Chains A and B, each alone.
Chain A
């Protein structure tokens, strides 16, 4: 297992945001993290990124406990994209990618930036300030930043939120192609069930800080006797029990 999460807990004040979750991701596989708002997805991602200190439990990456990694060593192998964080608005796209390629210690910076800019169709607005871009353009620049270091582990938090169907499809296709050409393990948190079905090898469903179900999309849909993942999600999210 490339990523192992063991009995992970995070308590804020008196309540558990994440309450004893366990899951594993094989190398180069994609795991979907589903659940209603406030179920603990972002907190879980924050703990894997080292931004949040767990109350208890273990995060093991490539057979090493996250606590034993040097912070910069593990972060060099990971990256993260989310529409809820942004790159500096007053810097041009080129300047932002240059700064982050330096922060990630990329050799052959120019080649890497050119390569990823071409792949994600961002060359046309390369010299424009990031804050002046449309949501779709910003999203692709954010994705470019998240792939600048060719991460072994990519954490994506709702990567296509607020995108129109065309750009959303472009991003999903890009992630699919990128995954097939590069060795990358992905943890994808999303509320877009079609996206999850398309991109994920397996999923876990969270509610109230706990994992309430897991398996492939097909297994979970069949288990709950629904027609698709969206209906299954609604059933699980609205049920009072925690399974």
Chain B
């Protein structure tokens, strides 16, 4: 019952975006977000939206899958549009009915905001979550944030925690399945009653799950100690990340896009 949960949303593939260095991707996403937020006129917004779809094309991920992933944010987009339409004031009054006043600027802003959210989500999911395996992502983050160690921020520990969490997700899902079945076999009922009753029915699942998780954590800690784990100090890595030409090509393309948007902002 819990096996169908897809986590991390990683979509394995072999496209250009899949092959990019995870460290570079983290920078790329920052540049891309800056680009999206610098757009402030119809032409540049059109370019931003087009660029999001170019990224989708480069990732070779079916558009359908990405649109499906947009469903949860659909409500947010409608809400944003709604607020912008009714609360923005401007010079060109279009509709005035009782207290409702809709201006042309409001509609324009609403469209801008929707395009912005849309490109933001499509761009970041295609650049990062869909095309980067969770392990590569944590690895990339650890290395990008490495300099923060100087400020005594436990970067390595965070990345280790992420790795272990990812490692244990399938194990704990399996375990939850087992516990649910064991409780069902003893007559537990998880599918009837009101919301509160159902929430209460979860207690006999959560308690054994937590107990076993702590037990596992304890054993894992000893196993890690036995394998000489002593934090990030003096640790080497088997996989070395190398920046390739393609990383710089994509970086260049995104920088040109950013410059283009700024130029477009000045012209229009």
Whether A associates with B in a native complex is no
